[in-house]
Amino acid sequence: MNILHSARIMLTPIHKEGYPFIALFFIIAVVLGFLWLPLFWAGLGLTLWCAYFFRDPQRVVPLAANLVLSPADGKVSFAGVVMPPEKLGLPQRQMFRISIFMDIFSCHVNRAPVSGIIKVIDYHEGHFFNAMLDKAGESNEANGLLLQTAYGEVGVVQIAGLVARRIVCWVKKGEELAAGRRFGLIRFGSRLDVYLPLQTEICISVGQKMVAGETVLARFAAVDNGKENIADKAEPDGAGDSAGRRGNSDSMSTAVHPPAVPDEEEGDKPDFLHFRLD
């Protein structure tokens, strides 16, 4: 194994969406360098930041079917019960919403939180308010996906922010997504919302740091309808990146008390120990 190959393994890949921006920053740095050398180094620093922003690292994706994974890197800015956006096609009844804020240093490649078939893709233009504000979800440019899963419908909404001016989505209606698969990107700071059924067991807390495709946001409860669920129904307690279930008390209007997930039977192998690299 030569040094070049070792360096490739160590370096995080850069998504192709970032190539034009990296090239532009570098050209500007060179031009400014001819005018005054310190400007070149400043421009080079911005070029390196741009490359870092568009990084696209591999993730270790848990394979248990009943897990809801974080679709974005960043921090949980809201967790509470709300009415879902009408345009997404979700039933107009209360759902649990988890919002993840991505700052300019977060990896902005978005990943599917669950496995399912895309029923709706809804893009609409809008304003560019700070993505941390609650009104950003209704007023800002956004792109929403409605996923049909074995546990019901799940909504995922990409929201542009104060700096972000471009939402990219690579998937199409009718396409089947696997949990943890890349489906889009938002440039330069933004937010991502996930809408889940109220019966879902929430495994995160406001302020917690998220890793897209790895951190467990929630677990679907077993369907109690006398039929065997499509996905595995048993998992040991404590799976995922659980840090409590407290939400934002200022914004949560309804408390959620999801049913407990049954304990793993003796001799069974827990599926959450199975992963794939993506």
Residues 87 and 36 placed together within one structural domain of the fold: no
Within-domain flag for 253: no
CA distance 190 to 101: 6
Q: What's the average model confidence in pLDDT over 31-41?
A: 91
Within-domain flag for 278: no
Range of the domain at 43: 9-53
CA distance 166 to 10: 29
Residues 38 and 81 placed together within one structural domain of the fold: no
Q: What is the pTM of this model?
A: 0.74
Within-domain flag for 269: no
Within-domain flag for 271: no
Residues 25 and 118 placed together within one structural domain of the fold: no
In the residue annotation, 190 being an active-site residue is answered as yes
Residues 153 and 42 placed together within one structural domain of the fold: no
Catalytic option among 99, 106, 115, 190: 190
Res 264: pLDDT: 41
At residue 101 the predicted structure's pLDDT band, cuts being 50, 70 and 90, is very high
1, pLDDT greater than 60: no
Within-domain flag for 71: yes
Within-domain flag for 272: no
Within-domain flag for 153: yes
Residues 163 and 180 placed together within one structural domain of the fold: yes
CATH number at residue 190: 2.70.70.10
Residues 149 and 35 placed together within one structural domain of the fold: no
At residue 130 the predicted structure's pLDDT band, cuts being 50, 70 and 90, is low
Residues 218 and 82 placed together within one structural domain of the fold: yes
Residues 239 and 170 placed together within one structural domain of the fold: yes
Residue 55 DSSP one-character state: B
**Strand residues in 25-107 grouped as ranges (E):** 60-62, 67-69, 74-82, 95-102
Comparing 5-9, 21-25, 162-166, the range with the smallest average pLDDT is: 5-9
Please write the tens of the pLDDT for every residue from 179-220: 999 999 987 768 899 999 999 999 999 999 999 999 999 999
Which secondary structure element, helix H or strand E, spans residue 142, and what is its range?
A: strand 142-149
Comparing 149-153, 185-189, 223-227, the range with the smallest average pLDDT is: 223-227
Of 199, 183, 107, 190, nearest to 145 by C-alpha is 183
7, pLDDT greater than 60: no
Residues 46 and 183 placed together within one structural domain of the fold: no
Residues 212 and 240 placed together within one structural domain of the fold: yes
134, pLDDT greater than 60: yes
Please write the tens of the pLDDT for every residue from 248-273: 434 333 333 343 444 444 344 445 56
Residues 23 and 45 placed together within one structural domain of the fold: yes
Residues 29 and 91 placed together within one structural domain of the fold: no
CA distance 173 to 152: 17
140, pLDDT greater than 70: yes
Within-domain flag for 277: no
How many domains, the chain?
2
